[in-house]
Each structure stands twice: as structure tokens, then as C-alpha cells.
Amino acid sequence: MSTPTDPVTAAPEAAPEAASAGVAAGLAAGLIEAEAERRAQQADSQREVLFADELLPGVGGERLSLRQGLAAGGSVTFLTLMTLSALDELESAALTTLAPDIRDAFGLSDGAIVFISAAAGAFLVLGALPMGWLADRCRRSRVIGWAGVVFSVMVLASGLAANAFPCTPHVRAVS
């Protein structure tokens, strides 16, 4: 005996089962579609675009000369960034060049000097992440200004540093 699949021609006791299965399938399909639409809207609302690429100078079509780039971005910003970069490189070069004298003056080991150099590099790498996040969400001129202030305070603090690694003074034989 064959079982009919059409709920209208089915036996009276099979009709409610088939009808409820069809309603449940329709509800499930509608729920899945609504959830997919909600997720798509949520993804679109979370995507934040600060500037469209075509509005940024130098992105896309024609190339900018240095003169045009300075006119668009500002020569003061360029000079500020160049000065900060030069001071950062000067500080790194000074630590490398003066490491033996610093080691002797403060009584540090070679391992402590290596640790100081590695910590400076780690702070540079780890600091790039929050600074990039801030630059995406705040005015870059303010981020650069505050970073310059913090940099200046840290340079001042390193100039005022006393021995951070106290130990017994090393006595060297004079030959």
C-alpha cells in the first residue's frame, strides 16, 4: 500500500503531521534567512571607513611629487616627523656607540646592556600596534604631538637616570 505525500489527499490522521512538518520547515527557512540578513547588516555596520581611498592624496590615479605631497600634507608635519625620526635614530646610535662607557660607568654587565637594547626594540614593535589603532581613530596630528611629548619626557628621564641595576662596584686593575 502506498502512502500519499499530498496532505490534502492523505488520510485524516496523517494530515496534521504533514501540515506541521511543512509549517516547521517554512519557519526554519524563514528563521535562517532572517539570521543571514541580520548578520550581513551587522557586518556592514561594524565596518568603519574613515576615509575613502580615492580621497587620500597619492592613492590611486596620478602620482604626487614631493612638492605636491608637502602642499597636501603640510611641510610642518613632514619636518616634525623627520625631526622625531632623526632623534630616535640618534638615541639608538648613541646607545650602541656608548654602550661600553655606559656599562663601565653604571657597573652593568653585557647582558644588562643587551636587555636594555632588546627592551627598546620590543617597546618600538609593541608600541606600533596601539599607535596605529589611535591613528586610525583620532586626529593624527594630535597622536603625533602626544607621542612627541611622551618621547621627550622619556629622553629627559633617560638623561636623569641613576644606576637602575645596583650591585657591588667593579674594581678594575689599572695596568
- Per-residue pLDDT of 112-134, as tens digits, reads 888 888 888 888 888 888 888 88
Dump pLDDT digits (tens) for 60-106.
667 778 788 778 777 888 888 889 889 878 877 887 888 888 888 87
Nine-digit cell string for 20: 506541521
Task: Indicate whether this model's pTM tops 0.85.
Answer: no
Only one residue has cell 627592551, namely: 119
What is the pLDDT, as a whole number, of residue 48?
A: 65
Cβ(9)–Cβ(18) under 8 Å? no
Cβ(107)–Cβ(169) under 8 Å? yes
Residue 168 confidence class, pLDDT cut points 50, 70, 90: low
What is the pLDDT, as a whole number, of residue 92?
A: 75
